[in-house]
Amino acid sequence: MRLRFLLVAGVVAFAWLAGQFAVLQAEQPAKGATAPSKKSAQPWDPKLKGLDVNGDGMITFDEWTRGDDAFEALDWDHDGILSGRELLAGAVRPAFPPPAPLARGEKADVAYERMDGDHDYRLTRREWTGTAAAFGILDVNHDGTLSPFEFGVDR
């Protein structure tokens, strides 16, 4: 019985060591290669390379040098930062689903005002009449409310 236990323990220990060795090998760059940096690992749009002055992987408005309109067009979620998919080569602006069933001929601004019961220009989950999934997709800055822009007003 003791021999069987030692044999099983030895096999388990060997397997664990082999796994640790494989992890260490995978983490090390090949001979002569340099480890990829955070910035080089991202397939950034070539037009945006070099604009990330502080090297944090995103471009703030303060780092931007190419005009307000261009920044506004690239900043899909209007958070004042170009990050994530906004920086990727060939990225396409995400399509927003219709926010809620609109009455026939009803415009987005009218529907927004109808749902915004306290008229604070923020739709909370409680005021929202659509699905929770649609609310989560539309709330691009994840603040728990929908701004008129996130809802689709003036887009």
115 CA to centre of own chain? 27
Same domain, 75 and 115: no
Same domain, 44 and 83: yes
> What is the mean predicted confidence (pLDDT) over 13-31?
49
Same domain, 44 and 73: yes
**Which percentage of the chain shows pLDDT scores above 70?**
65
Q: Is the pLDDT of residue 39 over 50?
A: no
Which residues span the domain enclosing 131? 108-151
Same domain, 76 and 115: no
| Prediction pTM value | 0.39
How far is 135 from 75, CA to CA, in rounded Å? 20
Among the residue ranges 16-20, 93-97, 146-150, the one predicted with the least confidence is 16-20
Q: Does residue 67 lie in a domain region?
A: yes
Q: How many structural domains is the chain composed of?
A: 2
How far is 26 from 47, CA to CA, in rounded Å? 32
